[in-house]
Structure 1
Amino acid sequence: MKKVLILANNSIGLYNFRIELIKELIKQQYEVYFSLPEQVDDEKVQLIIKAGAKHIQTHINRRGINPFEDWKLIKEYKKIITEVNPDLLLTYTIKPNIYGTYAANTINVPVIMNITGIGTSLTNSKLKKIVINLYKYACKKAKYVFFQNKSNYTLFISKKIVSHDKTVILPGSGVNTNKFIPVTKTKEDEKIRFLFIGRLMKEKGIEEFLDAANALLNRYENIEFQILGPFEEEKYKEIMLKNKNKQIRYLGTSNDVRTEIREVDCIVNPSYHEGMSNVLLEAAAMGKPLIASDIPGCKEIVEDGLNGYLFEVKLTSSLEERLIKFIELEIEEKEIMGKRSRSKVEAEFDRSIVIDEYMKIINNIVKKGDKNELI
């Protein structure tokens, strides 16, 4: 039986956005292993194991920049790859992409790398030059490099990080349109509810969301702003704890975001950068209007004025303007926006598109039986 090893940096992302791919690999008689920092008793890890994959815990600090810590990670990856001896390695996010590819190359295991987003490390970080050079090496050694939007692909090509002949542009991670479907709210009232879903950190635009909320709550009584997600940066925990405004609600975290998405009127994503926003894809699949930053990874999903609105990234006044436009729409206009969202993801972002592309290339690499064959 052919083996596929997956390297990722968190169980939630792997389960939420890759479980269908894992199931398809197993269905097609691949033995699947997955490496994550979470322990075996983690809820999402258990769900992936139940699907038939084998778990390997790996110690990875996804936001750390300690070189000694990263060198340990490379050695750990090399040990895992040697022991599993996979026919193919799939990697997601920056450290698994770079360090996993380096480790795999030392023992001639082919790699399909997925650029899930570029973050600040490739835009305005002090580490920009180092990260570019690391990615150049990794992309040179990878068999294929998958991108989740055209902008990230263009950046890598323009900086000569990767050659065009080994690239594939996917519609993000896609969305399971059979799982995320339009559902009627359990309670109807006159209140208009906006929902932010994401890690609470500056780069996700949480400050702009809160500033816009506070400004508009002085103007409208029938609105509510909800926040769903874990605290990535501790200062936002204090902000939420001190919040006394009942129209700004922190919902904590969720095991199934469909529950929270169902009960709101609009999803807001004020992020500074995205690969392809899974939050927007899932909300659109559930027939919700969208308001998002006018950035790659959001503007492919939001058609301004049709299924939602785009606003200037990092600009609270621009976000406020779009929120007001939505608030003042007639109910029928909001419903039409939601229907357009659903139609768009069905046509362009169904997860089956992503899985089909993966399986075509995986089968092409593995079933040739030559790990070392060049593209």
Structure 2
Amino acid sequence: MKPKLLRITTVPISLSGLLQGQMRFMSRYFEITGVSSPDGNTLKNIETKEGIKTFPVEMTRKITPIKDLKAVYQLYKLFKKEQPIIVHSHTPKAGTLSMLAAKLAGVPHRLHTIAGLPLVETTGLKRQLLNTVEKFTYACATKIYPNAHGLTKIILENNFTSKDKLKVIANGSSNGIDTKHFNPKCISENVKETLNSQLNISQSDKVFVFVGRLVGDKGINELVSAFSTISQTNSALKLLLVGDYETELDPLKDETLKAMEMNPKIINTGWVDDVRPFLAIADCLVFPSYREGFPNVVMQAGAMGLPAIVSDINGCNEIIIEGENGTIIPIKDTEALLKKMKQFLNKELQYDSERCRALITERYERQVVWDALLEEYQRLLGLAKEK
């Protein structure tokens, strides 16, 4: 019989998105159950796509003590029933709840992947509370996997856990990237021409693109401000914002929303299922985020041959090599962002698209990440083959 492995996220979109394809691969070696909050038919769809079982446990992304205790109890009962050899969690709330429940249930290998630390942008009593929760999660886990080397540094600086409990899998990233899927050759000229026409983008336009949640901590306020300035003196210019707002958790400033509404050169596409065509018609990714784990979009853009302007945060500053596939700016620095965007438009910054792609395919192809994680699982279980 295959050993049992449970993979857990707070919401199912993380289970299907962050780990896409990985669970199907791992199911060759493990009996896998995916656990996440119920959300319509999402879990059933994951079962079909990944070829695994799923189990619903309601988990919230906010601080909800009563609901959280209920979720811990449900997870505990699940673990006692299934007797998994490994419980591996992703996302903050799922990590805290499942690591506690797994420890109480006596699960031998309790693994948690860190893909960003929201607390780095928090202060005061809330920061103290989040620090405590983070330490508690790590204490319940037997192994912690930061998905970027920069996260390891932050964890150690804050004394969340000991160095020997930490390990970065492969070169970073939770799932790597399917570079066959994210390939500029997959998008035909006809598709690009049609999309340009729909978005009113002309051949002479230079296109900056952002992909992600349209929220404050992604640097959207700074991006819109910088673009608003530069677009006043450059008519052949567009900014594509590919993503949805998240007004409840991190709303944009009123002046940012007004600028987005009033400037015809700023195009908000909303959520899209396939970002590749939008990356294919762009000239440069702009990603001035305040915090990340290991940002998929920077890898995706690179695999599509795009250079990137990114903020100097973990993940971004590991994927981007200054001068080779993009440039790195200080966090929350509108003037620095404006300067780099101008330099790109003036061709003071130039990049080779094939080199941009190669730097992703060589380091972050998803099979490399999957194989490294499988090797880690097998090492923990004493099944690793000698090299």
Distance in structure 2 (CA, Å) of the matches to 1:309 and 1:101? 38
Distance in structure 2 (CA, Å) of the matches to 1:49 and 1:86? 22
Partner of 2:102 in structure 1?
Answer: 104
Partner of 1:328 in structure 2?
Answer: 346
2:355 is equivalent to residue 340 of structure 1:
yes
Measured at CA, do residues 133 and 324 of structure 1 come closer, stay the same or move farther in structure 2, by a change above 3 Å?
same
Shift of 1:89: 0.6
Distance in structure 1 (CA, Å) of the matches to 2:74 and 2:338? 47
Distance in structure 1 (CA, Å) of the matches to 2:128 and 2:3? 37
- Of the three residues 351, 357, 367, the one matched with 1:352 is 367
- Of the three residues 317, 320, 323, the one matched with 2:335 is 317
- Of all paired residues, the percent bearing the same amino acid is 25
Cα offsets for 1:111-136 (capped at 9, x unmatched): 11101111235753533333333332
Q: Aligned with 2:293: secondary structure?
A: coil
Shift of 1:260: 1.7
Shift of 1:210: 1.2
Cα offsets for 1:73-130 (capped at 9, x unmatched): 2223223323333221110011111221000000111211101111235753533333
Deviates more, 1:85-94 or 1:271-280: 85-94
Partner of 1:172 in structure 2?
Answer: 173
2:285 is equivalent to residue 267 of structure 1:
yes
Partner of 1:119 in structure 2?
Answer: 118
CA contact (8 A) 1:180 1:282 kept: yes
* Amino acid across the alignment from 2:182: F
Alignment gaps of 5+ in structure 2: 194-201
Partner of 2:16 in structure 1?
Answer: 15
* TM-score using structure 1 length: 0.89
* Amino acid across the alignment from 2:361: E
Partner of 1:224 in structure 2?
Answer: 238
CA contact (8 A) 2:326 2:351 kept: no
* Amino acid across the alignment from 1:76: Q
Q: Aligned with 1:180: secondary structure?
A: coil
Alignment gaps of 5+ in structure 1: 369-375
Shift of 1:254: 1.1
Partner of 1:246 in structure 2?
Answer: 264
CA contact (8 A) 1:40 1:55 kept: no
Deviates more, 1:109-118 or 1:123-132: 123-132
CA contact (8 A) 2:21 2:50 kept: no
Distance in structure 2 (CA, Å) of the matches to 1:122 and 1:354? 28
Deviates more, 1:210-219 or 1:234-243: 234-243
Distance in structure 2 (CA, Å) of the matches to 1:327 and 1:179? 29
Distance in structure 2 (CA, Å) of the matches to 1:98 and 1:274? 19
Measured at CA, do residues 84 and 240 of structure 1 come closer, stay the same or move farther in structure 2, by a change above 3 Å?
farther
Distance in structure 2 (CA, Å) of the matches to 1:295 and 1:324? 22
Partner of 1:372 in structure 2?
Answer: none
Shift of 1:288: 0.6
Shift of 1:300: 0.8
2:78 is equivalent to residue 76 of structure 1:
no
* TM-score using structure 2 length: 0.86
Shift of 1:353: 2.4
Measured at CA, do residues 45 and 291 of structure 1 come closer, stay the same or move farther in structure 2, by a change above 3 Å?
farther
Distance in structure 1 (CA, Å) of the matches to 2:82 and 2:253? 40
Shift of 1:335: 5.4
Aligned runs of 1:27-176 on 2, under 5 Å?
27-28=28-29, 30-42=30-42, 46-62=45-61, 64-109=62-107, 110-120=109-119, 124=123, 126-170=125-169, 171-173=172-174, 174-176=176-178
Shift of 1:347: 1.8
Partner of 1:195 in structure 2?
Answer: 209
Partner of 2:218 in structure 1?
Answer: 204
Measured at CA, do residues 65 and 141 of structure 1 come closer, stay the same or move farther in structure 2, by a change above 3 Å?
closer
**Aligned residues, how many?**
362
When the two chains are superposed, the root-mean-square deviation of aligned CA atoms in Å is: 2.4
